[in-house]
Each structure stands twice: as C-alpha cells, then as structure tokens.
Amino acid sequence: MGDIKVNCLLYADDAVLIAPSEAELQALVTCMKEECEIKAKRPPVEETASFLQSLLASHGPNYLEKLFGSKARDALEPLGGVEKVAIALSESQTIEDFGAALHLMRSDLEHLRSVFMAVENGDLGMLKSLGIKDSELGDVKFFLEKLVNTGFLD
C-alpha cells in the first residue's frame, strides 16, 4: 500500500496476515500461533489482580515487598496499585519488560528474578527465607510458575 508495509490487519475477533510469499506467510502464522499460545498460558489480569489483592488482604499492605522490593509498600501504590501491577504481570513478555513497565530499580528487578529462578529450580528455601510461610508457599509457587512457564525469565 504505497510506502506503507502492512503485515497484519487486526479486527475485533479476527486477524488477516499478509505476506509476499507462502513461506513468509507460514512464518507469520507460526509466530502468531506461538505468541497466542504464550498469552493463553499467562494468568489473566483479573486472576492476577485477585491473587495480589488476596495476599495483601491476608498479610498486610507491605507483604509484596518480599517479591517486588521496597516500591511494593502500601498495597503496591508506589508502583501504580494492584491493577497496574496485575496488568504488567499479565501483559509483559519478560521480566525485563515488567521491570520497565513499572520503572523498577535494577536491584529490585534482580531480586525478583532471583525469586522466579528459585521457583523455577524448586528452591522453596529461598521463598521461606523471604518470610513466606509454609501455608502460603503452594499458592505463591503455583502463581509464579505460571509466569515462568510462559517464558517470563527469557
């Protein structure tokens, strides 16, 4: 279309992929399929917000400092609140994207990365050392594993 290159037209519930060759079209289809599969595995915003909210309600407004660092005080308000953090967790492709979306300090991002890596490696001792109780470990581990399994650490 003139000087504009269009590879994909998106509609409310459909997409049209455009490519100059069958091979390039197949590459676009494969890429789109992989991205959709990753998104399908990622916890939805509502589930993420509900999980974060329940942790805060059960354990106090500063509980999530254990995972996200000092900016997670006061029910995540310095990060924009529960909803903004939930959106960033659900929509960020990687932990780096998540850190950029919330303007996390490098030290907080590296701490969060170490928490995710501990979960990925089955090191529950690290989570316990943060003060996460045995009764909370299963839920926290399950939630973080969902993100790890979608390539969040890549």
19 and 76 part of one domain = no
pLDDT, tens digit (0-9, with 9 covering 90-100), for 82-136: 999 999 998 888 899 999 999 999 999 999 999 999 988 988 898 889 888 888 8
Count structural domains, the chain: 2
pLDDT tens for residues 21-66?
A: 889 888 888 888 877 766 666 788 999 999 899 989 988 899 999 8
Do residues 101 and 58 both lie within one domain? Answer: yes
Q: Do 70 and 131 belong to one domain?
A: yes
Domain hosting 113: range is: 45-148
Residue 103 counted as domain residue: yes
**For residue 12, what pLDDT is reported?**
64
Do 69 and 34 share a domain, yes or no? no
Q: Are 79 and 35 contained in the same domain?
A: no
Q: Residue 15 — φ and ψ, nearest 5°? A: -140, 145
Is residue 21 located within the same domain as residue 94? Answer: no
What pLDDT, on the 0 to 100 scale, is given for residue 1?
Answer: 42
> How does DSSP assign 68-111, residue by residue?
H-GGGHHHHGGGT-HHHHHHHHHH-SSHHHHHHHHT--HHHHHH
**Is 3 a member of any domain?**
no
Query: Based on the domain organization, do 28 and 99 belong to the same domain?
Result: no
Q: What is the pLDDT of residue 41?
A: 67
Q: Are residues 116 and 87 in the same domain?
A: yes
